[in-house]
Amino acid sequence: MIVTRVTTTPIAGMKPGTSGLRKKVAEFSRPHYVENFVQSVFDAVRPEAGFGGLTLVVGGDGRFHNREAIQTVIRMAAANGFARVLVGAGGILSTPAASCVIRAHQAFGGLILSASHNPGGPDGDFGIKFNAANGGPAPERVTDAIHARTLAITEYLTVDTPDLDLDTPGTRALGSLAVEVVDPVADYLALMQRLFDFDALRALFARGFRLRFDAMHAVTGPYAHAIFERELGAPAGTVLNGTPLPDFGGHHPDPNLVHARALYDEMMGPDAPDLGAASDGDGDRNLIIGRGIFVSPSDSLAMLAANARCAPAYAQGLAGVARSMPTSAAVDRVAQALGIPCYETPTGWKFFGNLLDAGRITLCGEESAGTGSDHVREKDGVWAVLLWLSILATRGQSVREIAESHWATYGRHYYTRHDYEDVETEAAQGLMEHLLSRLPHMPGESIAGRRIVLADDFAYTDPVDGSVSKHQGLRIGFHDGSRIVYRLSGTGTSGATLRVYIERFEPDPARHGLDPQTALAPLITLARDIAGIPAWTGREAPDVIT
């Protein structure tokens, strides 16, 4: 095997976002694009002794360009001196499963090829991110080093070999590199069996419990078929859209009430199943809907924390919990009642990693439909469904009964997120900069009868390593505990997405049955007017409401 050194030049724009580098497929298909970024990753994380004897995990969500990129990564791993590559059969590995495989096999790290919940297909999006030996997304100091290397790269290493068979499990050699094609489900399934009481869940389905899980033609299809239908005995047809497709069947694999509308409509219908759930492109997000009731991601995190003891893995209680700053404070009240710490972090799962590794938290989550625990270092959609099933099996109540009981105990945090998608980048940045300039003068002001007590640009000091992350979102808090948060998303590939988060606490059980958009209507208007959203963006209404 002859290693080839290919001369290259830096390509602008390779700065990883909240979870890796995401661009249009057309960008990743350009000559040297994948190679430049992968070599920059290898250069940034290379141990002093090199990669000899080390294992790299590789897999993705099956989207368009997945197979081609994996072949490139394998050749470059061989050229850069790795001893072994573990790749999911068919190029498939959900993001939480990749984290599981990295940890189970004590790998050096992994490259996950996905753009998460973004659309796929030849005109869609693609992405690559590096996960470290703990199984979690690379921390900011590493992604900063990767970005710096992309700006200085002069060559990449590869080998000139035919494509490898990615579909047949087994080990084949590529020079001194052992390429092992593995069952993408096996390690993950074994982990779930250790966390949950599968016998109790089988009994739940045997009693006639009905689940509808929409895999959205994304990566969780094989996992859902294996776990829900084959292992737990749910009837065939429980899993919808269970075959991963390069373009996700032409749909947007984001499990929200817009893109999973068919599931929502079924769950609101007269013959709705007991639990409706969905996951996204790479399997790390989840949607939870009960018969006649949608459970917001923020509420889901709080309810999972309050009932975690229903699963064997958490029967001894939780060390602590964490949420991203834009996520509602519902879980904070649960933590207070349980007498455990609750940490508020920036958006991005990597910020939970230090807390998990240090044993400070057991459960964590984000309002963007991600929840997880210390079992891996990624959010995990299928895990969230299994924990909900465990709670339903143990308590013998419906999703609605559990939600209403939770609100009666802790109060209800009415919460919504309004997304303005594909806004002109300059306009979105102008809005944020103008609002930022006004924040120092806001505390003490009253707007529409609400007194502002907090107005800042959120910054986070990691309690484990002391690292500081600034400019993580603009917060405006009012005297009654309600708040508005503004952020520009780091997950898009074109234009900018302005996210506006709106929250109000309601302690009165008699007022827990309102529609969130109704309950929050005055704050929604206030959020629009304070930032001048129509004037800056030309938008009178958001594109997506969750």
Domain segments of the chain: what residues? 3-183, 188-410, 412-545
The whole-number pLDDT of residue 491 equals 55
pLDDT above 80: residue 242:
yes
Q: At what angle do helices 95-104 and 381-395 cross, to 10 degrees?
A: 90
Count of other CB atoms within 10 angstroms of residue 249 = 15
pLDDT above 60: residue 293:
yes
* CB distance 215 to 174 below 8 Å: no
Interval 179-191 mean pLDDT: 98
Please report, as a single letter, which amino acid is at residue 63. R
The whole-number pLDDT of residue 106 equals 98
pLDDT above 90: residue 363:
yes
* CB distance 102 to 375 below 8 Å: no
pLDDT above 60: residue 11:
yes
Interval 507-514 mean pLDDT: 95
DSSP letter for each residue of 419-449: EEEEE-HHHHHHHHHHHHHHGGG-TT-EETT
Does the model's pTM come out above 0.75? yes
The whole-number pLDDT of residue 430 equals 96
Q: Is 261 helix (H, G, I), strand (E, B) or coil?
A: helix
Write out the two tokens for 360. Answer: 């400070």
DSSP letter for each residue of 130-179: EE-TTSSBPPHHHHHHHHHHHTT--EEEEE--PPP--SS-EEEEETTEEE
pLDDT in tens, 472-506: 999 999 999 999 999 998 555 567 999 999 999 99
pLDDT above 70: residue 396:
yes
CA-nearest of 236, 246, 281 to 90 is 246
* CB distance 303 to 402 below 8 Å: yes
* Alpha carbon distance, N-terminus to C-terminus of the chain: 52
Count of other CB atoms within 10 angstroms of residue 67 = 18
CA angle 210, 211, 214 (to 5 degrees): 150
116 catalytic? Reply is yes
The whole-number pLDDT of residue 180 equals 98
Residue 181 DSSP class: E
* CB distance 411 to 505 below 8 Å: yes
Write out the two tokens for 345. Answer: 């972090």
pLDDT above 80: residue 435:
yes
Nearest-Å Rg of the Cα atoms of the chain is: 23
* Maximum C-alpha span of the chain: 73
The whole-number pLDDT of residue 489 equals 82
Q: At what angle do helices 140-150 and 33-45 cross, to 10 degrees?
A: 130
* CB distance 94 to 53 below 8 Å: no
Separation CA 483–CA 218 (nearest Å): 35
Non-local CB neighbours of 214 within 8 Å, separated by 6+ positions: 240, 241, 255, 260, 262, 263, 276, 277, 278, 279, 287
Q: Which of 198-207, 369-378, 487-496 has the lowest mean pLDDT?
A: 487-496
Return the CATH architecture of domain 188-410. Answer: 3-Layer(aba) Sandwich (3.40)
pLDDT in tens, 77-89: 999 999 999 999 9
Mean pLDDT of the chain: 96
Count of other CB atoms within 10 angstroms of residue 250 = 11
Interval 41-65 mean pLDDT: 97
- Superfamily classification of domain 3-183: Alpha-D-Glucose-1,6-Bisphosphate, subunit A, domain 3 (3.40.120.10)
Return the CATH architecture of domain 412-545. Answer: 2-Layer Sandwich (3.30)
Interval 392-401 mean pLDDT: 98
CA-nearest of 271, 273, 263, 262 to 210 is 273
pLDDT band at residue 426, thresholds of 50, 70 and 90? very high
The whole-number pLDDT of residue 544 equals 85
**Catalytic residue (choose from 40, 94, 114, 116):** 116
Write out the two tokens for 398. Answer: 């419906």
pLDDT in tens, 145-169: 999 999 999 999 999 999 999 999 9
Separation CA 360–CA 346 (nearest Å): 17
The whole-number pLDDT of residue 240 equals 97
The whole-number pLDDT of residue 490 equals 59
pLDDT band at residue 1, thresholds of 50, 70 and 90? confident
pLDDT above 90: residue 107:
yes
Shared fold status for 3-183 and 412-545: no
The whole-number pLDDT of residue 406 equals 98
CB-side exposure of 36: number of CA atoms within 13 Å? Answer: 25
Non-local CB neighbours of 190 within 8 Å, separated by 6+ positions: none
pLDDT band at residue 454, thresholds of 50, 70 and 90? very high
Separation CA 267–CA 261 (nearest Å): 10
* CB distance 506 to 414 below 8 Å: yes
Separation CA 486–CA 111 (nearest Å): 31
Please report, as a single letter, which amino acid is at residue 19. S
Interval 98-102 mean pLDDT: 98
pLDDT band at residue 510, thresholds of 50, 70 and 90? very high
